[in-house]
Structures are given as structure tokens and as C-alpha cells.
């Protein structure tokens, strides 16, 4: 596959799990853990897709997603929103903000891999 995923997440266990799952599938996984400069990481890494946590230090994933969607170069990058909050309202916020897929924690390895593979085909 050889595509790049930028994982914007601040929980070490989640970072380790997703990195392992995707690396084993052939993805080049880059990580970033701070909301404040997440958009700079997106510009620097130019990933094929982004996995974005909703609750990050410095800035919410919703705000970062809005910045991504407004960016001329990266606005079309597929984004999987990842959160511990699974309320309908949260899912609707993510969809309105432009998330391609919304996934709640905890997630299964198979579901994460299937979601990333589906986004890679968009």
C-alpha cells in the first residue's frame, strides 16, 4: 500500500495500537499529539489520510477539522474522527464539520483497518 496516515492523538496507548495495526498493513504512520499546531503537522506531512481525535490538548478535533477543510492543499484529505464520546450529537457535529468516518473508542482492530482501507479508496 505504502500510503501515509497522520494520526493526531494524545493517548499513548491509542497511538501505539493504531500505529501497530496500520504499520502491519503497510501504512507509513506519522503521529502528532497536540491540537495547537496540528494543522502545521498536516501541511508538513501531507498525508494521504488523517485520523483525528476529538479531544486534544490545545484545540479540539472539530476546530482542526474545520482548518483542514478550509485549506486549499489539504481540504480534500479523508479524515476519520476518533472519540470516546459516542453520542448522536457528537456524530452529527463531526459529519457537519466534514468528517468522512466517525469512530468511537474503544474500537476493534478489524474496524479500524476496514475504515482506513475504505478511506484510502476515496
Q: Judge whether 55 and 84 are in contact, CB under 8 Å.
A: yes
Question: Could you report the per-residue pLDDT of 34-84, keeping only the tens digit for each?
Answer: 999 999 999 999 999 999 999 999 999 999 999 999 999 999 999 999 988
CA–CA gap between residue 67 and residue 47 (Å, rounded): 15
Strand partners, 104: 83
Mean pLDDT of the chain, nearest integer: 93
CA–CA gap between residue 103 and residue 65 (Å, rounded): 15
Q: Which domain holds residue 27?
A: 4-120
In sequence order, which residues have a C-beta less than 8 Å from that of residue 43 and are 6 or more positions away? 71, 73, 74
CATH of the domain at 89: 3.40.50.2300
Q: Is the pLDDT of residue 1 over 50?
A: no
Instruction: With residue 39 as reference, give the H or E element that holds it.
Output: helix 38-45
Confidence tier at 29 by pLDDT (50, 70, 90): very high
Instruction: Tally the domains of the chain.
Output: 1
Read off the pTM: 0.95
Amino acid at each position: 500500500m505504502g500510503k501515509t496516515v497522520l494520526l493526531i492523538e494524545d493517548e499513548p496507548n491509542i497511538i501505539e495500537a493504531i500505529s501497530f495495526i496500520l504499520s502491519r498493513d503497510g501504512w507509513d504512520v506519522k503521529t502528532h499529539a497536540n491540537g495547537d499546531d496540528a494543522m502545521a503537522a498536516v501541511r508538513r506531512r501531507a498525508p494521504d489520510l488523517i485520523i483525528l481525535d476529538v479531544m486534544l490538548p490545545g484545540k479540539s478535533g472539530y476546530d482542526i477539522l474545520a482548518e483542514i477543510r478550509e485549506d486549499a492543499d489539504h481540504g480534500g484529505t479523508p479524515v476519520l474522527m476518533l472519540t470516546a464520546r459516542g453520542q448522536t450529537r457528537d456524530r452529527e457535529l463531526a459529519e457537519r464539520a466534514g468528517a468522512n468516518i466517525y469512530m468511537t473508542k474503544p474500537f476493534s482492530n478489524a474496524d479500524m483497518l476496514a475504515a482506513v482501507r475504505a478511506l484510502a479508496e476515496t
